[in-house]
Each structure stands twice: as structure tokens, then as C-alpha cells.
Amino acid sequence: MVTPFADDGSVNYSVAEALAAHLADNGSDGLVVCGTTGESPTLSWDEEFQLFKCVKSAVGDRAKIIAGTGSNSTQEAIEATRKAAALQLDGTLQVVPYYNKPPQAGLYHHFRAIAEAVPDSPVMLYNVPGRSGCGLAVDTVARLTEVANIVAIKEASGNLDYASHLKSQVPSTFSLYSGDDSLTLPLLAIGGCGVVSVASHLVGNRLQTMIQAFEAGKIGLAAEEHLSLFPLFKALFLEPNPIPVKAALSLQGWQVGSLRSPLVSASDAVQQELKALLPQLF
């Protein structure tokens, strides 16, 4: 979920509540709050905690709330995860530590320490080497599945071979989510269960149609939806996420505001592409 900002750059919590309710009512089974799309690197811990509270209040039991409490500091991640758990959210998203590039042993101990510090809170790992500078090895993920509350992974390496290898090495109860909208259908085919989506801000119900069609054995219908939505999936990454999706939401009338520096608003070219594409989706 994107983080809306007011004109003065502060978090717009009222718009966040409205957007969260809209997403829950239009195809999203759960909301990741303060993840990559939510501009978590430029949010303070206090802002994130307030977002967790207001989104939970707005959504109630209509959708799961997953709190982005990951950090490249293990202790910071533990503290943020403990605070989120006190709100009785449904779990946390834990990104691979960025910039400091720990070895696999360090990654294993990082995630295990977070999970064991808050054993009643389910953990979704987040593998995104393009942003974090390093990635989780399959063997490391397999070891981490032995920790009872590490239950899922958001796989955003863009590597289908990696995802296939991973799926073959982890228990069937461990959930594999796509971190890329364009790879959701291929990952479903190898045993994935869904997507942590950007496009769901715009086409959540259609993504539900695609996934439910696949699960019902209607592969042709699922492929038709995927191919129809594919231009949107690619357009939303013409510039770094969440620049394009915030532009698209603004075009739809959502007052989500600008982006926090160092991110900037979408270029004229991207805005024109979105203006041409969005009417074709509904």
C-alpha cells in the first residue's frame, strides 16, 4: 500500500484510512503497510506505527494487515516488530538487510532473531536483491522454515529458476508470494499462492479473478487476464516504484500527494503513458 502525503509532506492519515478501506473492498485479501511501495525508507518509526494503527482501524477484519518492520539493523527490526505485534496485526514483512550486505550466516541469524523475539507474530521474508544488494540463498530460506513463525516469502528476485528451486526445498505449508505482478501467474504454476501487489491499487478485483480462475483450473481465463493486465504491470515499473503507481492513483482522483525525496514525481512521459493506459483497464 502506498503512503499518502499531505501538501506539507506529512503523512496524510485520513487518506491512508480511505485508501486502505478501498483496497480491502476491491480485491486485496491483505495489506502490506510501510513496505517498498509505502516509501518505508523515508518514514520515521513513529509515522509507521501510526500508519499501522490507522490502517487496522479502517480495515477491521476485512483484510489482513502485514507490517513492514524490517531493517538493516537486527535490533531495530526486533523493536519495530515488537511494537507492531502489540497492535495485534496479522504479521510482519522482513526485508533482506540492505547496504551492509551480510553473508548467508548473517541473514539466517538476523531473521531467526526477529522471529524468535516475537514468536506469536507470523513473519514473511522479503527477498529483493535488486534493492537490498544481496539475496537469500535457497538453503538459507529452507533453514529458516524450521522456525515456527517464519511462514512465507515475498519473492522479488525476478528469477523463476530460483523460485522453482526454492519451492522444491521448502515445506508445502510455506507460502510463496510473487513480489512482481508480472510473474504472479508463472509462480502460481509452480505452487505459489498469490502476490504482494502494486497493481492491486488499480485492478485488485481483476487480480482476484486471475488467481481464482487459476485455482479453479480455468487456465485459459487466468492467462487472458494476465495478458490483458501485462501492459499495466510493466508501466508501473517504467520508473522506480512507487513513482508510477502514485501518479496513476492521482489520475484516478486519489489525493496521495507527492513522493518524499530522494524520489520525485513521475515524468511527463510516464504520466502520458498512464493516461492512455488506464481507461483500457475498466
Half-sphere exposure of 119 (CA within 13 A, CB side): 4
Active-site positions?
A: 126, 154
Give the whole-angstrom CA distance, residue 204 versus residue 207. Answer: 5
- The answer to whether 237 and 244 are in contact (CB under 8 A) is yes
CA atoms within 13 A on the CB side of 249: 29
Question: Helices 200-215 and 13-25: crossing angle, nearest 10°?
Answer: 20
Q: Which three cell numbers stand for residue 120?
A: 506469536
Nearest-angstrom CA–CA distance, 115 and 123: 7
Residues 179/32, Cβ–Cβ less than 8 Å: no
